[in-house]
Amino acid sequence: MPKETKCVYEFGSYRLDSAERFLYRQEQPIPLPPKVIDTLLVLVENSGRVVEKAVLMETVWPDVVVEENNLTQNVSLLRKTLGDSGDNRQFIETIPRRGYRFIAPVKIVAPAKIVQASPDRTATEAPLGRDALEPPGTMYRERRGLLFAVLGVSAALIFGAIFVAGRPSTAPAPILRQLTTNSVELPLSAGAISPDGKYLAYADPAGLHLKLLKTGETHVLPSPADLAITTVGWFPDSASLLVSGLAKQDSRSGIWKLSLLNEEPRKLWNDGAQAVASPDGSQIVFLTAAFRQLWLMGANGENPHAILTAKPSEGLAKPAWLPTGERIAYASIYDGPQDASGKTVHHIDLESVDRHGTSPIRVAFDPGLTGGILLPGPRLLYALRSGLIADWGETTLWEWQTDLSSKHPRGKPHRVSAFGGGVSPFDFSATSDGRQLVFLKGEPQNDVYVAELEQNGKSLRDSRRLTLDDHNDFPWAWTLDSRAVFFSSDRNGNMDIFRQFLDSQIAQPIVATPQDEMGPTVTPDGEWYLYIVMPEGWTSTVTRPLSWMRIPAKGGVPRDVFGAPQAGEIECALPPSKVCVFTEHRGNDLIVWSLDPEKGKGGELGRTIGGSHPLLRSGLSPDGSRLAVTLPDRIRILSLGPNGTGANKLKDIFAAGWTGFNWVRWAPDGKGLYVACWPTGRTVIGYLDFDGHKWPLIETPGESGTAVFPSPDGRRLAFSRWSSANNAWMMERF
C-alpha cells in the first residue's frame, strides 16, 4: 500500500488526494479502479525515482501473487487517463527491464483529510455484482468461428481455469510456481500433473516430455510419429498416459495409450478427442472429432460406443468425470436468443449424465465463466472474467462446494483469489488429493504480419512482423497506394485505429477516442475512411448493431453513416469501381444493400440463404460485381452484376480437405480468393481459385482467429497471427 502520510499532490492540471483516493482534473473527479489509484500513488510519492516493477507489484498487491501484466494494464490506463500517449511522455516514463518513473513536477499542496473507507468503497475490490454469486445463471463460452470478429479467445478455455494466487489476509498466500520455461517458438500444447504428484507430462512442437518434479530431470517419451498432441491425461495409477492428437498430414484425430515403461504407444481409437480416464481407470470418455457425440470405451479401447448426441443447436466440449466416477460432466455450448437491441450471446451450461448417457442434470452459470475443474470434496473450482469476449478484464477464481450429481446443487460459491486480465491459461489438471493444481498459461498477443506474394499470389516469402509493440494489433485494410496498413490496437488502453507504413516502425493514430473503434474501410475514391464505433458492453456479446462512422481521409469531424446502429458490415471495391455495399446479417441469412458513404443505405442488391449454417464473413470483388461468402464447408459466390445491379447467381466452391472457412478476401486481379479456414486441428491461410484448386500459404497447429488482406497492387499480403509462450505452472496451498 502507499505510505501512511496522506497528502494532496498536484502535477500539471491534475490533483491527487491520497486520503480520498481520488484523481481530479480541474476540480472534476476522474473515476479510476482502486488498484490503478494505488499504482499512481506509489509513482507520485516516488516522483523522479525509478520504481522497480517488483516493488510496485508488492506494494499495490500485498500478500497476493500477481503477474506483471496486471501492472502493465494499470500503467496503460493511467497513461490514457492523463493523455500521456505516444513517444513524448510527460508523466510516466518506462525504464526498460526495470520499472517506471513519474517524471512530471509534483507539488505537495497540503496534508489531506483522513477519510475512513466505507464498506461500499472497499467492496469495489471485488467484481461488480458477484460478491453474492448464486449458482443459477448463465455460463459463457465463445466460439472460434467468430473469434477474429470479436477479437476473441481460445476454445481450449472450457474447463481450463484462469487464475492467480491470491487469498484474503486471514489465509496464507498460495504458492505459484513455473514448471517449464519454453519460448514462443516451442509453446506447450498440452500438459498434466500425475495423480501422485511426481511427474509433469507435457507436449510441445518437439514432442512429448516427462519431467520429474522433485529433481527437474526431463525425459523425452516415445510418442506416435507425425502426431500433434492436443490433450494429455493420466490413468489413476500414474503409470500410463492417455494422449489425444491430430495427424499432421491429414489432420485425422486419434487417441493413444502410452506407458512410462518405454513401451510403444498403442492406438485405441481413430476418431476421437479430449479423452479422459475414469477415476478407477476402467473406462475412457471422449468426444468424436465433430464434438457432437460423447463416447465411452474400455481402458484398452474395447467396446467403444456412443452414449449421448448433442442437440442440433449445441456442441460439446471437455468431458470430465465426477470424483465418484458414476457420472460424466461436460460443457454444452449454444446460442442464446436475440434481444430487442439485436444482442446475441453464446452460453455454456455444465451438464452431467450417468455412464449410459441418461439422467441428465444441467446447471447454468454466470456468463463470465471461462473454465474450471472438478475436485474431491466434492467441489468445483472455476474462473470468471469481467470482459466476456474481447476485453479480458479481471479474472477471478471461485470455489463452489457442492454436489453436481444432485438435481438441486446446494452451497454458495465464494471467491478464492483474483488473477487479472490479458492471459490465457488452459489445460487444468490436479493431483488425486486436489492439493496441487497445474495449468498451462501464456499471454496471447495478436500482431500484424506482412509477406511478399509470388507465383501470381500463390506463394509467400519474406514474412515479417509489422507491428512491433507488446499489445494486440488487428489488420483491417490497406491504403489504396499499397504503402501502408490500417489496423486496430489496444496500445492506448482501448481499441483505436492506426496506420503504419511498410518502411516505418511507428504507427500513426487515425481515430483515437475513449471509445473502442475498429476498421477502417477505404472508399474507392480515397475520400473517406469508414469505421466502427463499438457499442457499450460489446465485449459481452457476439452480435450486436454497430455504429458506422465516416471521417474524411484528410482529417475532419466524424459523421454517422446510417443515423442509427446497424447489424452488418461495410465493404468497398477497388478503383476504378465506385461500389460500396452494406452486408446485413439476419439470422443465418445475408442481405446485400448498395451504400453511399454520405447518403447511407440504398436498395437491395441480393441475398443468400445460409439455412442451418451461419454466414460468417464476406468479401466484395475488386470491381464490385460479386460477393464471396464463407460457409463451414465452402465459399459461396453471390453475383451482384456490374456496378451492383443484376441477377443473384450462386456458385459454390469446394476445396478438398479445407473446411471451417471463416475469412475471405478477393485477389486484386479478381481471379481467386484468399481464405482462412480451420481443417481439423489447424489454421490455414491459403489461395483458392474458382475451380476449387487450393494453394496453402501458411499452416499453424490449433484453431486461431485470423484475417487476411491482399494489398491493392497484389504484391503483398497482410495477415494477423496469434502467439503465446505457453508454459506449465503449479499452484499449491490454495
Q: Are 627 and 638 in contact (CB under 8 A)?
A: yes
Q: Say how far apart CA 620 and CA 670 lie, in whole Å.
A: 10
Q: Is 600 left (phi over 0), alpha (psi -120 to 50) or beta?
A: left
Helix (H) or strand (E) holding 594: strand 589-596
Q: What angle do CA 519, 70, 504 make, to 5 degrees?
A: 40
What letter does residue 118 receive in the DSSP assignment? P
Q: Is 59 helix (H, G, I), strand (E, B) or coil?
A: helix
Cell (9 digits) for 631: 460457409
pLDDT tens per residue across span 282-320: 999 999 867 889 999 999 999 999 999 998 778 888 899
Query: Over 70: is that where the pLDDT of 518 sits?
Result: yes
Mean pLDDT to the nearest integer, 589-618: 80
pLDDT for the residue 201: 96
Query: Over 90: is that where the pLDDT of 678 sits?
Result: no
Query: pLDDT-derived band of residue 423, with 50, 70 and 90 as boundaries?
Result: low
Say which amino acid occupies 467.
T
Domains of the chain from N-terminus onward? 7-123 (1.10.10.10), 144-187+271-339+346-443 (2.120.10), 445-723 (2.120.10.30)
Residue-averaged pLDDT of the chain = 80
Query: Over 50: is that where the pLDDT of 2 sits?
Result: no
Phi/psi of residue 291, nearest 5 degrees: 60, 35
pLDDT for the residue 168: 38
Q: Is 196 helix (H, G, I), strand (E, B) or coil?
A: coil
Percentage of the residues of the chain whose pLDDT score is greater than 90: 38
pTM: 0.65
pLDDT tens per residue across span 108-138: 876 544 333 333 323 222 222 233 332 222 2
Phi/psi of residue 255, nearest 5 degrees: -125, 130
Query: Over 90: is that where the pLDDT of 580 sits?
Result: yes
How many other C-beta atoms can be found within 10 angstroms of the C-beta atom of residue 68? 13
Burial of 531 (0-12, 13-18, 19+ CB in 10 A): buried
Q: What angle do CA 582, 584, 585 make, to 5 degrees?
A: 155
pLDDT for the residue 346: 67
Q: Are 95 and 101 in contact (CB under 8 A)?
A: yes
Query: Over 80: is that where the pLDDT of 703 sits?
Result: no
Query: pLDDT-derived band of residue 155, with 50, 70 and 90 as boundaries?
Result: very low
pLDDT for the residue 551: 94
DSSP output for 204-256: ETTEEEEEETTT--EEEEP--TTEEEEEEEE-TTSSEEEEEEEETTT--EEEE
Cis peptide preceding 222, ω within 30 of 0: no
Residue 120, C-beta contacts closer than 8 angstroms, at least 6 positions apart: none
Mean pLDDT to the nearest integer, 88-105: 84
Instruction: Write the CA distances from 298 to 237, 251, 276, 683, integer angstroms.
Output: 16, 25, 11, 33
